Amino acid sequence: MDILFVLLNVLIMLALIGILFYMQKKHVSFSKRVLTGLVLGILLGTFLQMAYQPDSAVVSTTTDWFNIVGRGYVSLLMMIVIPLIMVSIIQSIINLDKSSDLGKMSAWIIGILVATAMAAALVGIAAASVFNLDAGQIQAGQAESDRGIALEERLGTVEDMTIPQQILSFIPSNPFLDMTGARATSTIAIVIFSIIVGVAVLGVRRKQEEQAQVFINWMNAIYAIVMRIVTLILRLTPYGILALMANTVASTNVGGILELGKFVGASYAALLAMFIIHLIVIGLFGLNPLTFLRKVLPVLGFAFTSRSSAGTIPLNIQTQKNSLGVDQGSANMSASFGATIGQNGCAGIYPAMLAVMIAPSQGIDPFTPMFIAQLVLIVGITSFGIAGVGGGATFAALIVLSSMGLPVALAGLLISVEPLIDMGRTALNVNGAMLSGTLTSKIMKKLNIKTFNDTGTIEKEVTI
């Protein structure tokens, strides 16, 4: 009987995919198809929640089949991330008008990412205060206890690293190993390697222009091919979002959310506040915040459902260049750096809220100026090298809590709502990356204002 139910669920999924495919054939706009996929995924997930138990064999088997579409799409994006980062950054550098622009561009992007992460920490502290969060109010079950033990074990792999050692881990001693994503800092290591290659080409161009031109022509051709692959994959976005959202809603532990509702509410209040701050900053730089919001929504929708900052890099770059009018160099750099540096949600809000929650259990007042200043500073420093996939927030929390002298095991109390919160965190991370690219392009006077203000460019990001 379970097999029949699973078959029925799969047929429903195929019917919904058919609707999205029909919309594509009728040339319905990309953003509308993404939104439709999101809504249909929520409805399908809700149906599965109501018809079966979230932990039932039917839901487990059904979501396993849905993963062919959802996780398959994410895997395709992850497949192209490293090649895209490499060719995009190298191609951007070798096409720079002035090599001095590279240093300025990188400094502004990293500076904005870290500054907004520190601001996000303050927002997280404020949210924890307003909602009166206290780890002592949460009851620990077996799952929470097991999670706490696992976190303490994982801490052993990171707590002995000093800040200089963490910075050293960014340097790629074996770029081919980093191309496999073997380390939490693999993405930033590949960025550094690509920058070195690009700078080397600039040096060769000054002395051996003919040899450099051969490489430049070859790299431009590779870039065109990679971007074509990206475009083909991004056309699958509505289908991927449909399956990812259906699985997320179907397997959500509603009981856990109700039990930890105050923390979930505080988290999303903080995330929303930081989103608003992003839009205010956009306005302060003379750009229309609502135009920015409309154009980044499809990207944020995918980030929300996939919970992968790294997987969102291709869509992030495309949208910045084709829809927001950001220059190629700033778009490539900000999307790549933003997946590992200064993540506002995972490295800013989340560890700050945890620290404020856990501090009272150790007899520490988390609202003294010294504690707040120390926490914000540590968040800024440790916001480098956070893995851009699900679990990066845990890594950030381990570093921040251990640096503050707080027990990391108590973070395991939130295991039941972790996926739900991580969706919003990832969307904020990606928005922060797009913010840094847009502002850097504006500061360096390379932003195409006409493209930014043209609402028709919202659909150009995935045109063939």
Token duo for residue 423: 């969706």
Average pLDDT of the segment spanning 184-212: 84
Average pLDDT of the segment spanning 54-82: 87
Residues 325 and 419 sit within 8 Å (Cβ to Cβ): no
Residues 256 and 416 sit within 8 Å (Cβ to Cβ): yes
Mean pLDDT of the chain: 82
Within 10 A of 102 (CB to CB), how many other CB atoms are there?
Answer: 19
Identify the residue whose tokens are 């109501």.
50
Distance, in Å, from the CA atom of 246 to the CA atom of 83, rounded to the nearest integer, reads 30
Token duo for residue 235: 């056309």
Token duo for residue 289: 């915040």
How much is the pLDDT for 438?
A: 96
Does 371 have pLDDT greater than 70?
yes
- Domains in the chain, CATH or no CATH each: 2-462 (1.10.3860.10)
Q: Poorest-confidence range of 23-32, 153-162, 187-196?
A: 153-162
Categorize the per-residue pLDDT at 279 as very low, low, confident or very high, splitting at 50, 70 and 90. very high
Tell me how far the alpha carbon of residue 249 is from its chain's centroid. 20
Of 115-129, 179-193, 338-352, 387-401, where does the model show the most confidence?
A: 115-129
Tell which wins on pLDDT, 370 or 396.
370
Does 447 have pLDDT greater than 90?
yes
Distance, in Å, from the CA atom of 332 to the CA atom of 85, rounded to the nearest integer, reads 7
Categorize the per-residue pLDDT at 141 as very low, low, confident or very high, splitting at 50, 70 and 90. very low
How much is the pLDDT for 285?
A: 94
Distance, in Å, from the CA atom of 210 to the CA atom of 223, rounded to the nearest integer, reads 20
How much is the pLDDT for 148?
A: 47
Average pLDDT of the segment spanning 412-429: 77
Tell me what percent of the residues of the chain surpass a pLDDT of 90. Answer: 26
Does 143 have pLDDT greater than 50?
no
Does 430 have pLDDT greater than 80?
yes
